[in-house]
Chain A
Amino acid sequence: MSFSIKDPMMMREIILDNYQNPRNFEEVEDQRYITIHMDSASCIDDIYVYVLFEDGKVKDCKWSGKGCAISSASTSIMTEMVKGKTEEEAKKMMAEFNKMLANEDYDEELLAEANCFKNVNRQPSRITCANISWRGLEKAMNEEDKKHE
């Protein structure tokens, strides 16, 4: 992988690129997808995360809506990362991502491009921007689990 966490310029570029050219950005009406709406009074972000689970896997993940650069780029990167992963793998990524934001030791390799958000916690108010879609994914997983109870 040409990606390097040691290269701040590159990480900046990745954030900007995902903000300006968001991946998997599409409104989904397909009923098989679980739709999670993430918005709150304290934040302007208004983001929908759509997740299609199949056989214990995240078969597909899309998103739509509006948010700041950090939340948009992080959501875009997340959808790329979790697509095709098993739920367990996706959960592991989420856990590592949260550790990173909490300034704890974490698995850099597993997080790939999501390492761009390593320093987001320099502005504590932005942590909720960076993890908005991950929180959405977690909600989607909980809903999926409920279906199988």
Chain B
Amino acid sequence: MIDPYKIRSDFPMYHKHGGKFGDKPLIYLDNAATTFKPYAVIKSEEHYYEDITANAHRGDYSLAHEVDVAYEKARKTIADFINARTDEIAFTSGDSMALNQIAFGLGHKLHPGDEILLSEAEHASNILPWFIISQRTGAKIKYLPLSDNHVNLDEVEKAISEKTKIVSLAMVSNVLGYLLPIKEIAQIAHKHHAIMVVDGAQSVPHIKTDVKDLDIDFLAFSGHKMLGPTGIGVMYGKRELLDDLPPLLYGGEMNARFKSDGYISLEEPPLKFEAGTQNIAGALGLEAACEYLNQFSFDEIHAHELKLKRLAIEGLLANGNAEIYNADNDTGIITFNIKNVFSQDAASYLAEKGVFVRTGQHCSKLTPDLIHTDSTIRASFYIYNTVEDVKALVEACKHAEDFLDVFFD
């Protein structure tokens, strides 16, 4: 069982400030945007800066060797976390960079008339790189229809054909939090020889991800949404696909040698994708985040988040003034509006009560067509959220129509 009260003592954002931000209890419900970091993650970054600072893969001295060992050990821990091999994961600055590396790397396989299949619920980071690739190659973008926000496998069968070369989907959407049957979709994609790319930004932190079991070809995720540092993320790719994937960035450490006539011989994956000095502290921090999460099972984490979400939905429905768009989803993301109140007005009012939620289209500007609203409020839970957090959210929403109160005495 997840004990969020105990967990909080591991997180300085709670522990160091007595559970408050300013003079109010800290009710942080924007975990889909980013998460707090446990001491273990911060310590691990500190360890690099305080005890073993040197560049990786560069030095002949013992200190540099120690960094290499630590950096590659981090790679191993993180690879294990998603059941990948160490030569199949490259560090990136985050999910966005990983998706850009994948899209720009696969561009050379595409021709006019080919199709790239996305969904309308994708984050900008899983749409815009494909737009550019589509413009450059003449491949067409198609969108998987989402009926009632769920993916129907018959629709997937219909949407994928021999023309489909790439299917790129978020396992969990950041707006509505629905969990896609990625394993089944990957099977259908593979039947048609398409490459299956998964945006794991919202799933890897919350749901057991086994790349071998899912049999996906590529996966992207960010450290900062799973208790890790900002500025570090991962691109997973099946080894034979990585061999065939040109790097997005060129520079030091990713080449074995080059000559003045333009000849370059690249390092083997994953190093060929890691041009320039890497975020070494970030990699060690992400390792610590994986280790921290490893003390729980994803079933526990998921059950905790779902419990909080159900409570929130019950409370909001009892309040009577909320419109909820994803009451039946499978994750700890709840997307709603207060009737007749613009989302930003409501969220500012909640902020005044110390309840921090996100508003907007959540970078997924195509979704409004799906849920027929311009913008929404999103509350998203993680392991350190408590029943009291949910109560505070529900209580604060009760009178959100009075959002102008904040500005008048």
The chain A residues found within 8 Å of chain B, CB to CB, are 8-9, 11-12, 15-16, 41, 43-46, 66-70, 72, 117-120, 122-123, 125-126, 129
A-side contacts of B359, CB under 8 Å: 44
Q: Is the CB of B342 within 8 A of A67?
A: yes
B-side contacts of A68, CB under 8 Å: 342-345
How far is A120 from B408 in the complex, measured between Cα atoms in Å?
Answer: 9
Of the candidates B344, B351, B375, B404, the one whose C-beta lies within 8 Å of that of A15 is B404
How far is A71 from B375 in the complex, measured between Cα atoms in Å?
Answer: 15
Of the candidates A43, A66, A69, A118, the one whose C-beta lies within 8 Å of that of B404 is A69
B-side contacts of A119, CB under 8 Å: 406-408
Q: Is the CB of A69 within 8 A of B345?
A: yes
How far is A72 from B404 in the complex, measured between Cα atoms in Å?
Answer: 13
Any chain A CB within 8 A of the CB of B243?
no
Additional A-B contact list (19), CB under 8 Å, known A43-B344, A46-B374, A69-B404: A11-B408, A12-B407, A12-B408, A15-B404, A41-B363, A44-B344, A67-B342, A68-B345, A69-B341, A69-B345, A72-B342, A118-B407, A119-B408, A122-B406, A122-B407, A123-B351, A123-B406, A123-B407, A125-B351
How far is A9 from B408 in the complex, measured between Cα atoms in Å?
Answer: 8
For A10, give the chain B residue with the smallest CB separation. B408
For B351, give the chain A residue with the smallest CB separation. A123
B-side contacts of A66, CB under 8 Å: 374
| Contact (A8, B409) CB under 8 Å given A43-B344, A126-B348 | yes
A-side contacts of B361, CB under 8 Å: 44
Interface string of B379-409 (1 = CB under 8 A from A): 0000000000000000000000001101111
A-side contacts of B341, CB under 8 Å: 69
Any chain A CB within 8 A of the CB of B352?
yes
Of the candidates B352, B360, B403, B404, the one whose C-beta lies within 8 Å of that of A44 is B360
How far is A69 from B340 in the complex, measured between Cα atoms in Å?
Answer: 11
A-side contacts of B360, CB under 8 Å: 43-44
26 contacts between A and B (CB under 8 A): A8-B408, A8-B409, A9-B408, A11-B408, A12-B404, A12-B408, A43-B344, A44-B344, A44-B359, A44-B360, A44-B361, A44-B374, A66-B374, A67-B342, A68-B343, A68-B344, A69-B341, A69-B403, A70-B345, A72-B342, A117-B407, A118-B407, A119-B407, A125-B348, A125-B351, A129-B344
